[in-house]
Chain A
């Protein structure tokens, strides 16, 4: 079968996406779960162990607390309470922490430090898998066992006010609730007033057992202005007064009922120095956890430093405190100080319950649980406990009892710690089989791509894809049989869960067919290449291909970037790699421009002849690099010559400006940048001016290639973008300086969407028209430019106003490079593709993205939507994140097709683009597999893996676009065929 290299590359990338999807499914492990979670009947609690003697204490111990109030403050960092800010702004809480009847801890949140997984961790005690972040936006109801489920089952009345996520996680669990959405991050007073307004009545009523309050304001302030803003202090004082109100009311209630109640103050995650969260820096994972109750005894002068505990410990503690069974999936251990005041027998009973639950979880999740040290400790402790109970029932002497009791206690605490630890590490169980299959698919495709490179980049840019021969070859069936056998063996002997084994067998069989077919294709391509090369060596017809310095730089840069992905710091600071590479590229270009503008230094007749032969026979014939120096420089006028000389430096200066617009990465993220300055509320005027200017520049740069209609549409659309930003309060109109109430800007955004769709539609229409009227490439060029300008308009709508200069500069650089570098210097299609790819990557980071989940701008997904709709929101967010690569790739498509003699350049570019995108992905899969026990695997490498997977998906879409645009650039296959026949 004969395929164009573009179509071939597109299908290869599509198969790679499949491989990466399988890999991801295996890589992100299912969290530790109790297998008995499907049946929700209450199991009888574990009875007290008694060696020989008869203990009649089989029921759950009575609750320690009558009422529980949980005050969860979003993004409450530990130093907001325990640090100097706490002393200054939260005097009452600090007093309680230092002198009152309370226990305070620093609870460590596990990354991802995003609200929904943290709520899950607090209430279920389990460690949510990394995949939960992706579902954070659209949280489905929680299926696992949780404190709230247990409370409901026990007939307790739970009331909730605060973040809507809870209502989604626990539908029908609250007798009364009022969810506030965190839709508008810019609002930080109303979200909290919505919670506080219920407080007075609810505290007075007292007809509840558990009250949960989730305050969002602090997190919003953090997102707007960071942890050092003066707003933080005000918010903390507000929270302090709320805490005081609740505490005094609880104390007065306690006086009536004489049973203690518990007040819990905690945060779900911290806040980094820029005010965001999601990663695993110390500021983001440290949250305060304060338990306040009159039943906690405290001698005066007893100063305790907050101990470090895990966030998951709260679930077990709450369950014990309320007299409920501990949630089945909880991996936390009881916070022992809470039960310290109780009699020893009760203490032991609580610890026993917790250890039994943990060891049960361990048994279900670990095949060789008996060898686990925690389990051994638990068995030992249980035996000692039995002895103790026996002695206790026999009413033995108290000092023996006491010493044995403390020994048992210590044993239990040790067992709890070890069990909790080994369960937490259990989360990192990988499904190696699926990962291996995914990697094999991706690697096979990559090998196929690499092997067919010479063929795909040659004259016709189409290649023979060996499809039929492998299907009928013996090798194919042999490999297929072997793979099926391996599949059966692996699946029958697997101990842990495996995704591929759980697939129905036709699907798995199809996968095996794919793997073996790819293998056969590789083998046949390889043999053909070898035969051809030996033939060539005999004939010695082709001169060996020589590489220019630019080729060398592009190759080495790409290889260096791929290798750098193995180091966690280089993944965190990947933007530095790209900026460095782009700068070096610009310097190399400036050297090249110097050479072409000052001829005579570089006149090497024999070499340029050589190059001529080269490109005529082997490389791109369309853009003759050959002897580019002499003809181009003679044709250059004085002005253009200087423009050509200056343009790389202009690009360098633009890149430097953009670099200081958004500081990104980990080391540089806290540094002040222009973006932060612009977004602060004092500089709204400057921001408005800049946004307007950028929109103007965008219009001027984009309109030149459009037809009249789409030019008008573009102008109106860009105007609409400004109106939208003004409506939601980001920028100001000059005639309306005072800001009134903000709307969601639905109408304005939809107004822009209409124009985006209109321009895209016109572009597609032109493309289709050019397909019908063959060989009219002008219409096609206009069509591609219109598609490109539609995407620019959409990007202008989605990007935050301070990022509009990024878009403007990107268009400026594209224009300058096209006019003064690529056209006069006549670069090869492959070189231009790689340069576009590099710039696309650099712009991905210029925009403020990083390899961290926290920097994704989710607000792009809500532009013009009044409720959350999954598909459009996801699409918009993805597009908003990958604006840089998408725009540069679509510019590439337009640029290559606008070259009059383009021929198969587009298809060749598509091939190069697919190759250069799949090399990092394939390498990264291997790197991540080998680094899967690295310390930073969850915080650094897995987010990058998700980014890479998404990037590959986008590449697949772009390659499909390239191929579609390319279909008509050929004057119909039959026509070309006849031409070729005639030629030969």
Chain B
């Protein structure tokens, strides 16, 4: 049973990676002179949309947690609305954190905000899909020993690796290599993307490796 779970996790993650790869190649078919560096904003939007879509599809298809018993329409609508509000809030709070880290306040607002959106897609959207708009559950997952399934475990790993990737992505900005990708926020977005992909790759492997030691409370 556990092995099949891990297999499903791996396939889901491969699909996410595939969506990111698609977001790099598909637009160049339809759009003239599209490249990640030059039309970065465009790529950011497309990548966010693709990753969000894949996450939603996965959520609908796989349904890792059979959650709510009440399946009334109004309940669903409030749930979706709540999710949207949470997503926007996370975007804005990321934006604030970037500004606190020294991103320019007025110029490049759009770039900063789209980076916030991208980072939210990598972190908040999977959380919303998996845990729903439930702060308690989030706090549980991200505290030390609160993970109850391999899905949550992989969520923890991908989220943290996206953050670390974005954090490391800021390092090359002060260097004087004069490369186009050193401009704010390109290196950070690339860092976050690499971190996310790395998290997606690592988490199934890590779980597979440690499957003997991992025991979850509920399973």
Contacts and interface: CB of A to CB of B under 8 A. Distances in A.
A and B bind: yes
A653 B100 contact: yes
B144 A602 contact: yes
A667 B99 CA distance: 18
B175 A656 contact: no
B126 to A, nearest CB: 20
A568 B175 CA distance: 8
B101 A583 contact: yes
B3 interface: no
A567 interface: yes
B146 interface: yes
Contact of A602 (B99, B102, B143): B143
B140 interface: yes
A580 B139 contact: no
Contacts of A573: 174
A584 B144 contact: no
A656 B176 CA distance: 24
Interface string A634-659: 00000000000000000011011001
B113 interface: no
A595 interface: yes
A569 interface: yes
A580 B170 contact: yes
B167 A584 contact: yes
A577 B173 CA distance: 11
B101 A580 contact: yes
Contact of B143 (A572, A595, A652, A665): A595
A499 interface: no
A322 to B, nearest CB: 44
B102 A579 contact: yes
B97 interface: yes
A601 B102 contact: no
B68 interface: no
B146 A569 contact: no
Contacts of B170: 580
A570 B175 contact: yes
Given A569-B175, A570-B175, A584-B167, A656 B144 contact: no
A587 B97 contact: yes
Query: Counting chain B CB atoms within 10 Å of each CB, which of A584, A587, A601 scores highest?
Result: A601
A628 to B, nearest CB: 14
Interface size class of B (residues with CB under 8 A): 10 to 19
B145 interface: yes
Nearest to A576: B174
A568 B176 contact: yes
Nearest to B103: A656
Given A598-B139, A601-B139, A602-B143, A667 B100 contact: no
Given A567-B175, A569-B174, A576-B174, A601 B100 contact: no
B175 A601 contact: no
A598 B139 CA distance: 9
Nearest to A575: B174
A659 B103 CA distance: 11
Contacts of A655: 100
A533 B97 CA distance: 45
Contacts of A570: 174-175
B174 A601 contact: no
A604 interface: yes
Contacts, number: 45
A652 B174 contact: no
Contacts of B176: 568-569, 572, 667
A587 B145 CA distance: 21
Contacts of B101: 579-580, 583
Interface in A521-579: 567-570, 572-573, 576-577, 579
Nearest to A594: B139
Interface in B4-33: none
A659 B102 contact: yes
Given A598-B139, A656-B102, A604 B144 contact: yes
Nearest to B172: A569
A288 to B, nearest CB: 28
A659 B104 CA distance: 11
Contact of A656 (B99, B140, B143): B99
A252 to B, nearest CB: 53
Contacts of B102: 576, 579-580, 583, 656, 659
Nearest to A560: B171
Contacts of B144: 602, 604
Contacts of A601: 139-140, 143, 146
B186 to A, nearest CB: 16
Contacts of A656: 99-100, 102
Interface in A643-700: 652-653, 655-656, 659-660, 665, 667
Contacts of B175: 567, 569-570
Interface string B136-160: 0001100111100000000000000
A604 B145 contact: yes
Interface string A598-639: 100110100000000000000000000000000000000000
A656 B102 CA distance: 7
Contacts of B174: 569-570, 572-573, 576-577, 665, 667
A656 B139 CA distance: 28
Nearest to A591: B142
A595 B139 CA distance: 9
A583 B102 CA distance: 9
Nearest to A651: B100
Contacts of A576: 102, 173-174
Contacts of B145: 604
7 contacts: A572-B174, A576-B174, A579-B102, A580-B101, A583-B101, A602-B143, A604-B145
Given A577-B174, A667-B174, 9 more contacts: A569-B174, A570-B175, A572-B174, A576-B102, A576-B174, A580-B102, A583-B100, A598-B139, A601-B146
Interface of B: 97, 99-102, 105, 139-140, 143-146, 167, 170, 173-176
